[in-house]
Structure 1
Amino acid sequence: MSYTPSSSPVIAIDGPAASGKGTLSRKIADTLGFAHLDTGALYRGAAYALMQNGGDADNAQACIDAAQAFCDPFNTEMLSNPALRQDDVGQTASKVASVPEVRTILLDLQRSFASHPPAPYKGAVLDGRDIGTVICPQAPAKLFITASTEVRAERRTKELQSKGQSVTYERVLQDMRERDTRDAGRSAAPMVAAEDALILDTSLLDIDQAFLQALAFVEEKLS
């Protein structure tokens, strides 16, 4: 299945961890009345299923089995499980996502959500790492949200600590650098900005400033 533009417009938002893409995606979706899909939650869900079953993230078949068991983008309750936001789940998700067969399994699901968002939504916002380049390359509005590794590590450290997780900035920074390397260097759908995407660096922006810039770009592209 391939994504083709329809009467339901799609906004593709990509970027590395803790860049702000998730928050921006939700705010844009709420503002425009669009459905929102955090595609990373699908990979986190597969990773969580793998970990719950004692699977090995370095075993491709185990990752494939986990993805097949956890693959419903329309199940918002399942995707909003707080356990999916744990740092170790995110690290495992990056490994699971590097398996080409896993990406194939989840590809059609993401495109189906984009082409046919659940009622009553009139469009869809998808955020991830390969939305504008692989999932929905013909999306009319594409953004790549980024920030310096140090700023992103600081944000993620505060987020995790606020949820009671015992983490240090140094450990989060190291993990983030390793994950960035995996995500950008994998053979299947590496994390890169689409040629026609707006690249928005949020290192020195608060969420409202970033949102206004992103929304202005999206509204221009959809007009």
Structure 2
Amino acid sequence: MSLRVRPIVAIDGPAGAGKSSVARRLAERLGFVLVDTGALYRTVALAAERAAVPFDDGEALAQLARSLVESNAIVFERSSGGPKVKLFGEDVSDAIRTPEMGLGASTVSAHGGVRAALLDLQRQMGASGGVVLEGRDIGTVVFPDAEVKFFLTASPEIRAGRRYKELTDKGQVVTFERILEEVKQRDANDMNRAHAPLRQAETAILIDSSGSTVDITVSKMAAIVLAKIAAP
């Protein structure tokens, strides 16, 4: 164990693998703080769309991200209904979860300047330990010294099916074929970007959730973390 009393738990993996749900429940099970890094990039994408900043303008996006961090414009809040994300005081928890913002986050996060602007913020949030962070490069870039690293994945078809159900349950009109194509496109974007591409850290434990429920997956991961804490 490091000097941290409680470990940092890093969860990386592709879009739609269930990282958000698993990270939230794992944090609750362990009594840790949840840091949703994916929501940070989605919020930057939403802010960029509202400010008419093109997703392919890396310099302008980096400047926007820096201004959001400096002005504390992005705030995470706990609530009885689940974590809330606020942008300039507005609850944007639902607005950042659309397919468009998902693809936007994938594009925005590919810019090195944006990642640099948010890197220190993420490290500050988790430096003391006792946190669960999920994203694409938590165990490889943000916290390479994390005591416990997971790479959570599932087949593209399973991930698309989960996303399709989530969106249709909310009343959105989408097709499975469109969602599957978006999942594959995000995978390609995330794995091939120049800055911090998606990959499994050497010390990360692979968790394939294709045939498991969230509860089973969380129980498996919690047991691993608790064993790490108990180890001398």
TM-score (norm 2): 0.87
Does 2:69 correspond to 1:62?
Answer: no
Structure 1 unpaired stretches of 5+: 118-122
Which residue of structure 1 aligns with residue 152 of structure 2? Answer: 145
* SS of residue in 1 equivalent to 2:22: helix
Q: Distance in 1 between matches of 2:135 and 2:50?
A: 24
**Cα distance, 1:221 vs. partner?**
1.9
CA shift, 1:211, in A, is 1.3
Higher mean displacement: 183-192 or 7-16: 7-16
Q: Match for 2:33 among 35, 38, 52?
A: 35
Q: CA 1:210/1:68 → structure 2, altered by over 3 Å: closer, same or farther?
A: same
Deviating more after overlay: 79-88 vs 65-74: 65-74
Alpha carbons 1:141, 1:222 under 8 Å: kept: no
C-alpha deviation, 1:214, in angstroms? 1.1
Q: Give SS of 1:78's match.
A: strand
Whole-Å separation in 2 of the counterparts to 1:69 and 1:43: 14
Structure 1 pair 74–124 and aligned structure 2 pair: CA distance change class (3 A): farther
The answer for the alignment partner of 1:13 in structure 2 is: 11
Find the counterpart in structure 2 of residue 120 from structure 1: none
Does the 8 Å CA contact 1:5/1:139 hold for their aligned counterparts? no
Match of 1:90 in 2: 102
- 1:211 corresponds to which residue? 218
Over 3 Å counting, the alpha-carbon distance change for 1:74 and 1:32 in structure 2 is farther
Following superposition, the deviation at residue 89 of structure 1 comes to 0.6
- Name the CA shift for 1:108/1:52 in 2 (closer, same or farther; >3 Å): same
Q: Cα deviations across residues 76-118 of structure 1 (Å, max 9, x unaligned)?
A: 343562101011011011000000011011111001001147x
The 5-angstrom pairing of residues 1-223 of structure 1 reads: 6-71=4-69, 72=72, 74-76=75-77, 77-79=84-86, 81-116=93-128, 123-223=130-230
Task: State how many pairs are aligned.
Answer: 215
Runs of at least 5 residues in structure 2 that lack an aligned partner in the other structure: 78-83, 87-91
- 1:216 and 1:5, CA in 2 relative to 1: closer, same or farther beyond 3 A? same
| Deviation of the 1:177 alpha carbon | 0.6
Counterpart-to-counterpart distance in 1, 2:154 and 2:22: 13
